[in-house]
Structure 1
Amino acid sequence: MDLLESEKVKGNRLAGKVAFITGGTRGIGRVIAIMMAQQGAKVAFTGRSDAGYEVEERLREVGGTGMFIRANNKSEADLAAAVKQAADALGPISILVNNAIASDDVGSGGDSQVDKLETSVLDEIMHGALYGTIWASKHIIPYMRQVGCGSIINISASSSVGAIPERPSYAASKGAINSLTRQMAFAYGKENIRTNTIIVGFINTRSANFERMLGTPHIKEAFEKLVLVPQLGEPADIANGAIYLASNESKYVTGSQIFIEGGALCHQAQPILIMNKGD
């Protein structure tokens, strides 16, 4: 498979840094791992499938250094072991991207409405997103203290600030991550450990589900009306934001929410009203 254009840009913005990315085997996490490696970081990334070995190969193809570690974001033991393995192999970690979510649980249909929500679904989604974010941060912050600096980048979602249908658990988990980001920025800022959130909008990850939605004319039209730019986002847009937050360019940025969502959240979803002068 040919490399995407976004996977060919080399640089040294993250030279000398070690990055740990949860959920790096596909979609946004995959591209963040590849592009951070291109910028000079040594990259460890987690996931639950053999797709991680293909991503590992991509890191080598672009001249990067990295490793896939099989780990479940719903397990603190898994994350603690993965963090130690990464640090032992690559050195102390100074970049953490909390990207993993319980995607199978979110897309299962169980996350429907509060009055129909099974506690088991809520638990699974919260463990995969919120708890996993806390656990990965908990075990990596001591390494950031060793280095004397760190950047924690939490991947949130537009549904954390603007509701979408039938996703109460997912929206609640991401809203909690937004609040957690501020708490961690306050707690660790004086140690030169910064924490920020990227609010992600509709991103064409080229997954089968997303391609199916874009193949449905009225759904595609709704997406296009929602965003204010002439195209939908792609994973590289989020990766570029993560690289900025991971680099020294953002040394004065912490506790922030960076919106990368094509302007979808800056307006109300309503018909365009044409007002006559004098009305």
Structure 2
Amino acid sequence: MDRLKGKVAIVTGAAGGLGFAGVRAMAAEGARVVMMDLSSSVHERAKELVGEGFDVAPYGGDVSVENDIAGVVAFAKETYGGLDVLWNNAGLVGSDWIKQDTDVVGVSRDYLMRTLEVNMVSVFLGSKHAIPLMAEAGGGSIINTSSVQAAGGDLALVSYGTSKAAIDYLTKSIATSFGHLGIRCNAVAPGLIPPPAAPEAPGGAHPLEDVAPVKLVLDSQMLAYVGEQADVANAVVFLASDESKFITGQRINVDGGTTGHLPTLSDRRKLAGA
């Protein structure tokens, strides 16, 4: 398929599971993709896709550093001649990091600021430097990775949730300010998206579906199964393509229905014996 044929994209956080899945999906639709990541593994991951026949190029950099962001935008122009799509996807989501993200009393200022720098300021900087280049071409699509964590309060993840809520506002602000230039801006908000299941998993079940924290989320989803990285990647491809040319300023929840119901869903299911 060629829904993104002729388009140039930058994807941040491109070496990670979700970012890499999105890069592959975009490249499979004909896009030429600059893969940005702080991890040196981005070079090996890019080589993997090039070996499959896709047109991608790696770029090492820190999304919280403005010079690095300016550099990747310049690299896209030098390498591919312009920029049509920016997916601001980088974020601090590693398990060791997330475990430290408790509540407003328990989290340090340094932890909060680093989370905001990587998760939210990177979106600000990426958009700031991408918009002028997109405007030269008559428009483009900016996609930001939000999260269902921004939809309501929780007992933990105060830094992460705050950063994602800020992204939701930035998305609307960018869409409002630059729509007249043909630049669209939307967000995708993943729900429960664990790593891919092993191929030998019985009946196609995901091995994490019986883990207590995951089961807790599933009890509050409309759908009774976990999401896949491809589900988010498909939404990103749609928002990057001209199929979504009249959609801007929106947050698309790819969450199995987690945010679409009353908070009493789990209890009502128990009463109904479901």
Whether TM exceeds 0.5 here: the answer is yes
Distance 1:155 1:91, change over 3 A: same
2:217 matched to 1:227?
Answer: no
Separation (CA, whole Å) in 1 of partners of 2:103 and 2:224 = 32
Aligned partners of 2:258, 2:4: CA distance in 1, in Å? 30
The question of whether the paired residues in 2 share the 8 Å contact of 1:151 and 1:246 is answered with: yes
- Give runs of aligned pairs for residues 185-200 of structure 1, distance below 5 A: 185-200=175-190
- 1:54 maps to amino acid: E
The whole-number CA distance in structure 2 between the counterparts of 1:31 and 1:110 is 27
3-state SS of paired residue (1:272):
helix
3-state SS of paired residue (1:194): strand
Q: Which residue of 1 aligns with 2:171?
A: 181
Letter matched to residue 217 of structure 2: F
Q: CA deviation at 1:206?
A: 4.1
In the alignment, which residue of structure 1 is the partner of 2:134?
A: 144
1:88 partnered with 2:84: no
**Corresponding position: 1:237 with 2:237:** no
- Deviation of 1:54 after TM superposition, in Å, equals 2.8
Gaps of at least 5 residues in structure 2 are 198-205
Aligned counterparts of 2:75 and 2:173: Cα–Cα separation in 1: 28
What is the distance in 2 between the residues matched to 1:160 and 1:224? 18
The correspondence for 2:161, drawn from 171, 180, 183, is 171
Q: Which residue of 2 aligns with 1:263?
A: 257
1:34 aligns with 24
CA-CA distance at 1:228 after TM superposition: 2.1
What RMSD over aligned residues (CA atoms) do the two structures have, in Å? 2.1
2:112 is the counterpart of 1:116? no
2:200 counterpart residue number: none
| Larger CA deviation: 88-97 vs 54-63 | 54-63
**Matched letter for residue 254 of structure 1:** T
Whether contact under 8 Å (2:84, 2:134) holds in the other structure is yes
TM-score normalised over the length of structure 2:
0.89
Contact 1:105 1:121 in 2 (8 A): no
Cα distance in 2 for partners of 1:48, 1:85 equals 15
* Corresponding letter in the other structure for 1:36: M
Task: Give 1:49 shift.
Answer: 1.6
Matched residue SS, 1:101: coil
Asked if the contact 1:112–1:167 (Cα under 8 Å) also holds between the matched residues in 2, the reply is: yes
Residues in 2 aligned to 1:196 and 1:33: alpha-carbon distance in whole angstroms: 17
Mapped to 2, the partners of 1:86 and 1:205 lie a distance apart of 29
Distance 1:215 1:227 in 2: 13
1:13 aligns to what SS in structure 2?
coil
TM-score (norm 1): 0.87
Encode CA deviations 1:71-127: one digit per residue, 9 max, x unaligned: 111211111112211221112111000000123598253321101221101110000
C-alpha distance 221-102 of structure 1, shift in aligned 2 (>3 A): closer
Find the aligned partners of 2:5 and 2:251 in 1 and give their Cα distance: 25
Task: State the distance in 1 between where 2:98 and 2:219 align.
Answer: 27
Instruction: Determine whether 1:253 maps to 2:243.
Output: no
Asked whether the equivalents of residues 98 and 157 of structure 2 are also in contact (C-alpha less than 8 Å), the reply is no
What displacement does 1:254 show? Answer: 0.4
Structure 1 segments of 4 or more deviating over 6 A? none
Structure 2 CA distance for aligned equivalents of residues 182 and 161 of structure 1: 15
Gaps of 5+ in 1: 1-10
> Cα offset for 1:249?
0.5
| Aligned residues of 2:196 and 2:229 also touching (Cα < 8 A) | no
Identical residues among aligned pairs (%): 31
Q: Structure 2 CA distance, aligned partners of 1:114 and 1:28?
A: 28
Corresponding residue SS for 2:142:
strand
SS at match of 1:74: coil
Distance 1:120 1:109, change over 3 A: same
